[in-house]
Structure 1
Amino acid sequence: MLDKRYQIFISTSGREMQPERMILAQTLVGMGFFSWGLEQRTPLSTALARRQIDDCDYVIMLLGSQYGEQSVSGVGYMHLEYIYAVTKQKPIIVFMHDEPAARDSSLHDQKPELREKFSEFRKSLQHDVDQVFTYRSLRDLEMAVRLNMPQMLERYPVSGWVRPQNTQLLHDEIDQLKTKIEQLETEVGKREVDPFLSLPKVSMHEFFAFEYRMHAYQDGNFKELKIQKKLTWAQLLGILGSMFVHPTPEEYFSKCINDYLNDTGLEDARLEMPRAHAIARSQINIRALHSIKMQMRQNDWIIQSGRDDRQRMLWQLTSKGQKLLESNLLNKSQASEQKSWH
């Protein structure tokens, strides 16, 4: 195995994020990453930040409760670094505080216009960045980094950095992988049966049972709940189908269904916490998500459709899935399912 390292550029609003930045940097170093970035910004430091972004493999945006110091144009330095990273097509991951308003008042912008800019910037990151994760404490942040950075390496593979003495090992590994790919392609070509055909097809009215987690809020406190839920395949196709009308990155499977669970999970939470008034951070079990994806493929509702310019796997509805989505079959199946539950 090659001794490969990755360079991470960390962007924050400034000094008030120093505790979080220190935890983030220490965690990354412990995981084998190199990190850099600038806490104190000036017009002269902008060029240095851009060079660092050019040279980095990944960009982390660490957002607390401040928009931060602004450039002469009125745009925050952190905001400028984000815009530049997007233009350079750098893989971006965001760690933001789950409830900025709950942070100490000294950690907030004092000017109303800056607070408004912070709110808009936060909404922009939530809407435009694929990988956004929230935290409430420094421990939360550390665990979020440990859990999600390895997934970034898988979803957005980059060349990274290898010690010079290991370059021959790199070439040897490339040759071995090429040989293995040729062998696998030959084997696949000889097979008459797709390995996924061993999965039986399902009907639209059948239920799929799965587990998901959420944070439920009641009486000023929150509790993490494990929820057992059932949805019909008609419902699942209805939830996911519209997202994949056009070729869409694979990670939108989890984003789409987790958004649905966040929107609808309050009723589930109230079965255990009757006075729950809000939920957040709903997340489907990853094995269940994989089963849903493979079952939809087996039923010929979705199909792989290549990769985008960031090498992300793309999925798209098949013509069969499109017809089901456009027909009344989903609505009828969902209506009958709802009646059976009430």
Structure 2
Amino acid sequence: MEKRYQVFVSSTFTDLLSERQNVMQALLELDCIPAGMELFSASDADQWSLIKEVIDDCDYYIVIIGGRYGSTTAEGISFTEKEFDYALSSNKPILAFLHKDPDQIPSGKTEINPDAREKLLAFRRKAETDRICKYWLSPEDLGAKVSRSLIKTIKHQPAEGWIRGRFAATTELLSQVNELRETNEKLKSNLASIGETSPPGIDQYAGGADEVELHGTKEVGPDKVTEDWSITLSWDEVFALLGPTMYEECAEKTMQAHLSNIFLAKQKEDSSVEIKGLQLSDESFQTIKIQLLALGLIMIGDIHDITGSGNANWVLTSFGQGYVMKLKAIRKNEIELR
């Protein structure tokens, strides 16, 4: 008889949106029923009672720990840790996933308050105690490890699960399955809309048709005389140049060289003098990087070359992927019939 398992996903929220999206997608692909804070509205009169009920109904509990401790209760404990403690006291099978290198998490997604940092470290140690933990570096890495770990856990610790309504012996069980199916469809719909919705607060930053001046140096003529150059582009034009290269992780140095090559070709087209080389200034490149981060279009992670040295890399967010498609995809009315 086919079973579907309900899995509670616990974590801080705003700093782990992409990570939660990848975990939810992994669970849906395993025909599991995800449950978490997405189900709880701000108007719930007794939110903690509802959270406990949902955890009680779940077969497995997943905790994801990144760089923030999160909002706390009146007792000074974060809601994520409180959920963890409750799942532990309820003897739920717990799967813990901790960020592998917290020192490399962007500062905007880490705790600044010393007390909160100490509580986060203590929570990490608690989560690592008496259980096997998995460590992740990116949303995609996390999603893959959740999928593999849950398959193994289900095999070795099979839970009660839910059965389809046609196998149920009572109308009560049929009602429960239908309710869970509706919840599952709601989560799928929410996941599908994430890539189409702009992150909150980006309206305060320049973007779209707003223009930016970029500059650098170039080597001109047979004597390679160094001259300054500049170009004015809209932020959409800048992102259209970079976006298609970032569907997979791309090293930051490669991105800077890519832009320099594009602008070199443009300068050669517009100049009657031979141009031997061109460099985009670090100041302009860092401006692009910070602005794309602020607009929620990219994320910064880490890659390692064969020497073991770390280099920052860029990758599109879900919102960034959708925005690239809007900028670059060919629409029907743009195709010329020949």
TM-score, normalising length from structure 2?
0.47
Identify the structure with bigger relative contact order (alpha carbons < 8 Å, sequence gap 6+).
2
TM-score, normalising length from structure 1?
0.47
